């Protein structure tokens, strides 16, 4: 850019407005980068929690079924699921065998006391299964609570990024308006200077020169 062009840009305010436009663009880019970062880290954290939310929700629902809160059909289905677990049934069978040995040693095998002990083993195992479901449900609830907190923090961060960028942009737009106003004032001043060279009749005013000391 030539020297004269630089002067004209400074006079017209174009240079200042260009720099302000760069600043406004930079603010917008920074805002978008901040928003993307908040979303990226928020989504990553939610991904870590998703398995706990899903499995915890299923376990809590099944726990409710065992209590009958979703109806007798759901309760029967939950109990059937428990009885269909081969590992649990083998564990229960082993415990019943150990209970039988103990009852037999005491001479109580086949008695009412023995039958009560057998029922207690069954109920205890079923209660342990319910406790496991309830524990998984509580874990899922904690994951859901954490997810809600992450959503809130992510939303607050994004809102803050927009708020900060809006404030900065408002300041830069204000400076740009001042630069435009300065341009208008310069134009008005230039018009006044130009008008001073013309008389009302349309002629050009001559500059008054100091008279010399000599004659013609």
User: What are the average pLDDT values for consecutive 10-residue runs of the chain, which has 216 residues?
Assistant: 47 66 83 88 90 94 94 94 86 81 76 78 88 94 93 89 82 72 55 50 48 47
Closest CA to 138 of 48, 45, 60: 60
Domains of the chain: 3-195 (1.10.287)
List of residues 6+ apart from 147 with CB closer than 8 A: 46, 49, 53
Pinpoint the alpha helices (H) of the chain: 3-12, 14-67, 72-83, 86-105, 112-195
d(CA 47, CA 36): 16
CA distances from 153 to 41, 45, 118, 139, 157 (A): 11, 12, 53, 21, 6
């Amino acid at each position: 850019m030539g020297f004269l062009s630089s002067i004209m840009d400074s006079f017209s305010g174009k240079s200042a407005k260009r720099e302000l436009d760069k600043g406004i663009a930079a603010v917008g880019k920074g805002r978008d980068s901040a928003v993307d970062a908040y979303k990226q880290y928020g989504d990553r954290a939610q991904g870590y929690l998703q398995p706990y939310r899903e499995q915890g929700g299923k376990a809590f629902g099944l726990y409710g079924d065992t209590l009958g809160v979703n109806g007798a059909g759901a309760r029967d289905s939950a109990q059937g699921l428990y009885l269909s677990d081969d590992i649990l049934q083998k564990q229960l069978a082993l415990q019943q065998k150990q209970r039988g040995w103990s009852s037999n040693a005491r001479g109580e095998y086949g008695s009412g006391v023995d039958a009560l002990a057998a029922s207690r083993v069954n109920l205890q195992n079923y209660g342990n299964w319910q406790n496991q479901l309830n524990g998984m449900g509580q874990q899922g609830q904690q994951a859901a609570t954490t997810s809600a907190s992450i959503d809130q923090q992510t939303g607050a961060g994004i809102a803050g990024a927009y708020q900060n960028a809006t404030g900065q942009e408002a300041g830069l737009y204000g400076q740009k308006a001042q630069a435009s106003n300065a341009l208008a004032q310069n134009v008005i001043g230039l018009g006044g200077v130009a008008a001073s060279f013309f008389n009302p009749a349309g002629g050009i005013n001559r500059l008054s020169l100091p008279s010399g000391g000599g004659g013609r």
